[in-house]
Structure 1
C-alpha cells in the first residue's frame, strides 16, 4: 500500500516539472488490479435480552469497505469501513444478511449469511396488586419481557386479555379493573416478543365492603380489616363451643393477654371504599353473640367517626352467663343520636376497667336492628 501511494506522489511531481522518470519508478499501475480482498468472514453479536439487537461486524483481508444489507427493514445497503460495525433490532425470525466487500481496486465480493433470531421465554414475573375497595390496580415486571397480558378471571371462558403497557426492562401497568366481590384466578402472561411466553397465576379474593351483619362465615368478607390496639389479639377461628343459640362454623376469638392495657381493643373501618358505614336509621340496636368464661365483665361496643359532627357513642353491657353463648344488646337509641347519622368506625373493648389477666372471649353474629 505504501509503495502505491509513493508512486502516485512522484508521478504527479514529474508531470508538473517535466522531469524524466527515475529508475525503478514507472507509470505501470497494473498492481492495483491484483490487490484483492480475501478471507471474508462476519461477526453476528446477537443480544440475549429479547431486544433483537444484532451487531454486524464485517471482517476480511484487504477490504476497503463493506456494504451490508440487513435483510429486514430498509433495503438500502449500509456502508461499513474496516474496524466499524452496524447494528439492527430484529423481530424473531429467519433472515439473510448480505455483505458486499470491496478491495482497494474496486473489485467486489458478495456473501450471504443466514441469521436466526429466537427470543427466550421471560422469567421472574412479579405482579403487584393494590386494591381500593373492589378496584384492582396491577403492575408487573418480568425479565426479558416485551409485553404482558393479564386475564382478570371474571370474564368467562372467552375473556379477552388486557395488554399491559411498557417497554423491555420497565414496569408494565394495566388500567384499573373493578370486580364484583368474589374469588378469582388472575393470570399474568409475560411475552418475549416472539413465540415464547411465561405464565403465572394468582388466586385473589375480592372482598365485599365490610358491613353489618358480621357472621365470620363469608369467603368474600375481610374480617382482618382494621386492627387492634393496647395489646389485645383477634383471629377468625372455628367455633370451639357450637351449641345453644350459636351453631355457626366460625367465630371471632378475642384475647386480652396478661398486662394488656385496660383501654385496649379493636377497630374496624366502615368508611368507603372498604366498608359501609353504620346508619342509625337502619336500627338503633347492635346485637352481639358472646361466649365468655366469666359473669359480669363488660363488653364495649363503640360507634365512632359520626357524621355531621356527632361524637363517639359508647355502650357497655356485662355478660350474664358463663361458658355458654348469649346475645348482648346495645341500645344506642337511648343516647339521642340524630336521625340520619352514620358512623365510619366500630370498636370493641372488653373489661376496660382493668388491665388484661389473660381473658379470652368469642364474638359472633353482630347485627343491627330496631
Structure 2
C-alpha cells in the first residue's frame, strides 16, 4: 500500500507537468533536491504520547517519515499535511525525507523526546531582531520538553506561534510598544511549564550592515561627493542646515565599525553644499548614485541645485530596514530644464516630512566607461590609468610600482609599455603590488593566467594572486577570498612567459568575483634593490 501511495503521487505530478504546452515543458533532470527539510513536532498533553508531525521544506513533492521507534512502515505526507504517531516514553531519532517529482531526496534527522514529566529548567531568551523593525525572536528550551507555544500578546491575535524545543519562534508586531509575552513549554505530560515577561518591542533605527561596495571605476568616469571608494570633491559641507533645526532636524556622521555614512535625523530637508565658489559639471555623467537606509521614511526626494537656474527634484521610494541603491539618470534633471554644468548643492527631502531618519552613503555621479581595466591587460591604452599600489617596504609602506616604457623591447615582448615593480633593499619578503580591475575575471576565457616576466635573476619565485576585494577582511585588513599560485623564472635579463594554473590552488572557485590582480616579485626573499617587469597578463585554457 505504501508503494502505491508514492507511485500515485508521482503520477499526479507527472500529469500536471504533461498539461503544459510544448514550449513550457520542464526538464525534470534539472530539478534540484529539496532544501530546508524539518518538521514541527507537537505532542498532546494527555499522557498518551501522541505526536503530530508537520513536515516542512522547499521543492518537495512528498515527505516520507520514519518514526525511529522500530515502526516498520513509514508515513507518507503531502506538502502542508500532518501525520500522528503514538510513542512510548523515550527519546527517538526520526528521519524526515523530502522527495521531488524526479526522485531526488534530502533527509533530515530530528530528535523526538516523549516524556510524561512536565518540562523542567525552562530557559527563555526574548530579543528584538537586529535587522527587522518590530520583529521579536524567542528561544525556549527545557528538559523533557518537545515543543513550546508563544503568545506574543498583541491585541486581536490569540493564536500562538509554535516551535520545537530549542528552536526560534519569531513574530512581527504591527506597532512598537510594550507587550506581555507568554511562553508555554510542553511535553507529553498534562502539566506544562510557563514563562511570562513584559517586553518592549522596538524599531530598528540604524543599519547593521554597510552599503554595497561601489565597483572599481576610472577617475575620469566618476565625480564623487561622499564615500570611501573614490576621491571626493574637497571641502564639501554635509550639513548646511538651511534653517531646518527648528523642525527638529539634525545631522551626524554615523560610524559603523569604521565605515562612515551620513545620517540625517528627522529629515525635513537637508543637503550638501560644495565649498564656496566650487561647482561641478556633471553634464558628461549619466547617473547620480546614492545608497540609502531608513527604518521609517517612505520616500526621498533628491534635487540638484544649479547656480544658473535653481533646482529640480526626483522622488524615489525606499524599502525599510535595508539599503536601497538609487541610480537617477542625469537626464531626469535636464529634462526638467535644469542646467547641470554648474551644480553646487544637493538637497534631500523626506516623506513623511520631518518624520524619520536616513543614512546615506556613496553619493557620486558616474558614466559608462569607454574602456575597462580587465583581462587581458597589456598597459598600452592611452585612456586608462593603471593605478598599481605597491606594498611591503622596509617600513611596511609602499614600494615603487608603475607603468613605464619597456626597457628591453626584444624577444617575446616588443610592446611599448610594461609595469615595473621595484624591490628596494630591506623590502619585506612579501613585497609586491596590486591593481584593481574594473570588472571581475571571466573564467569562461580560461583558468590559467599567463604573464610576461622580466627578472634580473634565474630562480626567482613569482607569486600571482587574485582576490575578491569586497570579501570580509582578516585581522590585517586583507580580503579573505583569494587564490595564490607560484611560478619560477628560468632566465635572467630577458622576457619569458610564466603560466599560473589557478585550478591547482584548493581555494580557487570560478564562481568567485575576483577583481584584483597582485604580483609578488622574488617572493619569500627580502629586497636587494632590484626591479622586475611584467606585461601581457592574460588568460588561457
Q: TM-score, normalised by structure 1?
A: 0.46
Structure number with greater CO (CA < 8 Å, separation at least 6) is 1
Q: TM-score, normalised by structure 2?
A: 0.33
Greater per-residue strand proportion? 1
Q: Of the two, which has the highest radius of gyration?
A: 1
